[in-house]
Structure 1
């Protein structure tokens, strides 16, 4: 397992940088070990089946079957010609796989888009997120009450001396207008409103 090659491959495909000390490499090593064991089992099964097939081919071709303890018998290759083997051929009993502990289930080739377990997890996550949101909103409502806006306070400002004098003159003028003749008074008020 070339860790540098795996790191660069992961970065190219996902943009995620992983370190050599990352626990994901432990999972990769575990996966390799499990895969190697499974491959060895399958190779042993295939070898045993091919030896059995070779025995049947020998019998069908009129040749004598291989003896279980005999290492001197010729091994047939794919061309059905005896091959000169440097080491003695293995017997089918040498490759017998360990019996399965229980019934072997077939490997599923397709899975549903969302499994029931994933649906339960999604429902639990949605419930937790709703409860968290309610908790946050409740906390904000309890602890962060906004202060009421200040009441508008209107204060009378002190009048300047000019303004005070103008008001006194306006009072005198109003009293003087009231003493005039009603005809002149209406003409004067009409002129003031222009």
Structure 2
């Protein structure tokens, strides 16, 4: 008899737990954003680039109360000084976003960037489609329900030439839900 009661209690707890998790899933909606990126080159790359510009799309899944999982894709161009050819990348990143308050958060992403230009023979980038390790830490602010400002440092590491394409910049984004 004790075993039957124990099995019923465990079964009831399991059903309530699954039901609570299903309720949580209903409330959790993915937030999408698209943004404009602009920055100032840092380190080696500042010798030939004066501006970094691009755009990105991002999705955020709220995994826990204050923690979200992010995935993003974008286009980032290290624009050359004096009309030369820039160095463009397509970053694909995964990361985490932690909300300290409803208005302030930190984020960190890492992944790969694909070289989107042609090899110009000077070692500034690989051939089209080459991929490089990328990381992006940042501090952000929710300025309103739909707008966000992220101050970030983005770094693309090219192992074959031991060079890093880095920038300090800002991403201004519009956030929305599809439901």
Range into which the TM-score falls when normalised by the shorter chain: under 0.3
> Which has more strand, going by share of residues?
2
Determine which structure has greater relative contact order: mean sequence separation of CA pairs < 8 Å that are 6+ residues apart, divided by chain length: 2
TM-score, normalised to structure 1, is 0.19
Flag the structure with higher helix content.
Answer: 1
TM (norm. structure 2) is 0.20
